[in-house]
Amino acid sequence: MQTQAAGPGAFARFDLTRVPSPCFVVDEVAVTRNLATLRDVGQRAGAKVLLALKAFSMWSLADLVGAHLDGVCASGLWEARLAREHYHGHLTTYSPAYKREDLPEILRLSDSVIFNSPDQVARFADLIAAARAQGQVFDIGLRLNPEHSEAEVAKYDPCQLGSRLGFPVSQLRPEHLEGIDGLHIHALCEQGFEPLQRIWASLEPRLEGLLGGLKWLNLGGGHHITRADYRIDDLVVLLRQIAERHGVQVYLEPGEAIALDAGILVGEILDTFDNAMPVAVTDISATCHMPDVIEAPYRPAMLGEGEAGVTVRIGGPSCLAGDIIGDYVFAARPRAGDRIAFLDQAHYSMVKTNTFNGVPLPAIALWNSDTGALRLVRQFDYADFRDRLS
């Protein structure tokens, strides 16, 4: 899988020694720029745009998000709570499956609750009716699997054979839409306009006669709208066509697009030695801090990497033999104490960190690339590791 990082941008002039190591540094100017692009798309297309908390849930920026977008989407009870505590606007919650004991609170918190199958809607009909009897107001949605694969990597493809994500559209019948207010379709991962266009062209004929009674259509996330080469004007046209042709409110749920190229992960070289090639150990761990590097896998771009020099294999401090970030070119062999940074780490990396091996979590800093102002938002210590255990 190829990194989608566009380059260092303003981070080319960031002093890596200004923050503790390791540390995520998020540029609020870049986030604001991305949010403005998404707001423009929503306004021109008549669509509602929600932040996917699963990708970027830095709630210290919740007010900034609220000033640009229509709300957020959650993946379960805890994200729904976070949304109501810190964010503004519409809240959509979707999970592949809900626990019965969680659902009453999810229904109370959410404006839209999306189920993964008609069977789940039927099984929880009593809870839905009870919540509405108490005066709670919410929509019910159904996630569809369009059965049209566009994702580059199978494990990130919601439409792969045997996928648990969404009800197969080939099985959809009119009776499945009784009591359903909208459909949710998420089939992309870090992709441009063309895959969305192909998915919709494949799916729309299969929904013929089924959309008339619905209020909304949610096209999910995975849209790289803020990438420089994204066909924004074509997206606006498509969204307006869908809304006008079918009489539905269209929603988008970008997560990664909001934080694209808006953050780096700063680390420090701890040691270097030779083993068939130069090897460096850093306090950044792929398995603990950037798990998609191993899961995808992919090679994150490094700030300031050269085209010629010495190639060094960089890995993390954990005991996992595969805790390897990648091979990188340095102008000169790095030394213990040198600072490095990896680009485009604000989305997904921040929300997926863990403390395997007792590896410390990276701090989180907010930087303003226009003014140079820097604020350390959060630092983690031993107690954060200890209190997850027993």
Instruction: Concatenate the DSSP letters of all residues of 244-281 into one string.
Output: HHHT-EEEE--SHHHHTT-EEEEEEEEEEEESSSEEEE
Helix runs in the chain, H state only? 28-45, 62-66, 77-86, 103-109, 118-123, 125-133, 193-203, 232-246, 256-259, 286-289, 292-295, 349-352, 382-386
**Roughly what angle, to the nearest 10 degrees, separates helices 193-203 and 232-246?**
20
Give the whole-angstrom CA distance, residue 225 versus residue 231: 8
Q: What are the boundaries of each domain within the chain?
A: 9-25+262-386, 46-259
Full-model pTM: 0.95
264 close to 301: Cβ distance less than 8 angstroms: no
Dihedral pair phi/psi, residue 310, rounded to 5°: -105, 130
Dihedral pair phi/psi, residue 102, rounded to 5°: -90, -30
Please report the sign of the dihedral spanned by the C-alpha atoms of residue 182, residue 187, residue 193, residue 196.
Answer: negative
Beta bridge partners of 23: 266, 363
242 close to 208: Cβ distance less than 8 angstroms: no
Q: CATH top-level class for 9-25+262-386? A: mainly beta
pLDDT of the residue at 1:
62
User: Measured over all CA atoms, what is the biggest interatomic distance in the chain, rounded to whole angstroms?
Assistant: 69
**Roughly what angle, to the nearest 10 degrees, separates helices 232-246 and 28-45?**
40
Dihedral pair phi/psi, residue 276, rounded to 5°: 70, -20
Burial class (CB in 10 A: 0-12, 13-18, 19+), 374: middle
User: What number of residues does the chain have?
Assistant: 390
pLDDT per residue as tens, the chain (390 positions): 667 777 899 999 999 999 999 999 999 999 999 999 999 999 999 999 999 999 999 999 999 999 999 999 999 999 999 999 999 999 999 999 999 999 999 999 999 999 999 999 999 999 999 999 999 999 999 999 999 999 888 888 999 999 999 999 999 999 999 999 999 999 998 899 999 999 999 999 999 989 989 999 999 999 999 999 999 999 999 999 999 999 999 999 999 999 999 999 999 999 999 999 999 999 999 999 999 999 999 999 999 998 899 999 999 999 999 999 999 999 999 999 999 999 999 999 999 999 999 999 999 999 999 999 999 999 999 999 999 998
For 171, other C-beta atoms within 10 Å of its C-beta total 12
pLDDT of the residue at 227:
95
Give the whole-angstrom CA distance, residue 121 versus residue 143: 11
In degrees, rounded to 5, the angle at the alpha carbon of residue 333 between the alpha carbons of residues 358 and 266 is 40
What is the CATH number that goes with domain 46-259?
3.20.20.10
pLDDT of the residue at 155:
85
Burial class (CB in 10 A: 0-12, 13-18, 19+), 253: buried
pLDDT of the residue at 130:
98
